[in-house]
Amino acid sequence: MDILTMIAVLQRVSSARVAVDGEVTGSIKQGLVILLGVHQNDTEEDSTFLIEKTATLRIFNDEGGKMNLSIQDVGGSALVVSQFTLAGDWRKGRRPSFINAAQPDEGCRLYEHYMAGLRAHDIPVESGLFGAMMKVELVNDGPVTFVLDSKER
């Protein structure tokens, strides 16, 4: 049986925003757009692991052009967007299955836990609206994108 765990897709951006029904719910300048996918068996331990990695991962350029600085080091912000499709299983057939995604109440709780953890690291956090259809606009800086998976500890 597959081990399913929380996934965070980090995209380094120079700016980004998310809107629900035409209303902007979150907007940042330099920082990270984070797409967060929660599986049904994910725990606060998974969320905490991803919080620590997100806050300290050195993926911003220093003055020499090397990825040597974290989001904290550059004073960046995070735009966190819930994305249950990251929990989709596409391996069989042509339509993904989402039976492994967390139930909405638990998914929302862990989404909120993740954002609170980033705030505890003094990272300003903006967000989308959990469970809503959203429009995300971003300027990917690099492009630099990483996929963090809580099972990869």
Whether the pLDDT of residue 153 is over 90: the answer is no
Q: Cα–Cα distance between 136 and 52 in angstroms, integer?
A: 24
Report how far residue 50's alpha carbon sits from residue 52's, in angstroms, rounded to the nearest whole number.
Answer: 5
Is 1 part of any domain? no
CATH number for the domain harbouring residue 24:
3.50.80.10
Helices 44-56, 104-120: inter-axial angle, 10-degree rounding: 40
Question: 19-28, 85-94, 106-115, 123-132: which range is least confident on average?
Answer: 85-94
**116 part of a folded domain:** yes
Contact indicator for 12, 141 with CB cutoff of 8 Å: yes
Given this model, what pLDDT does residue 1 score? 43
Average pLDDT, stretch 98-116?
Answer: 96
Percent of the chain with pLDDT over 90: 90
Strand 31-37 relative to strand 77-82: parallel, antiparallel, unpaired? parallel
What is the distance between the alpha carbons of residues 15 and 33, in angstroms, rounded to a whole number?
A: 9
Residue 110 has pLDDT above 50, yes or no: yes
Does residue 2 fall inside a structural domain?
A: no
Give which of 102, 55, 93 is closest to 74, Cα–Cα: 55
Whether residue 136 lies inside any domain: the answer is: yes
Mean pLDDT across the chain: 95
Task: Establish if 34 belongs to a structural domain.
Answer: yes
% residues pLDDT > 70 (the chain) = 98
Q: Is residue 108 part of a domain?
A: yes
State how beta strands 60-61 and 31-37 pair: unpaired
Looking at the 3D structure of the chain, how many domains does it have?
1
Distance from C-alpha of 77 to C-alpha of 71, rounded to nearest angstrom: 7
pLDDT at residue number 69 = 98
Residue 135 has pLDDT above 60, yes or no: yes
Instruction: Kindly report, residue by residue over 44-96, the tens digit of the pLDDT.
Output: 999 999 999 999 999 999 999 999 999 999 999 999 999 999 998 889 999 99
Catalytic positions, please?
83-85
pLDDT at residue 151, rounded to an integer = 82
List the domain range (segments joined by +) for residue 111. 7-149
Within a domain: 64: yes
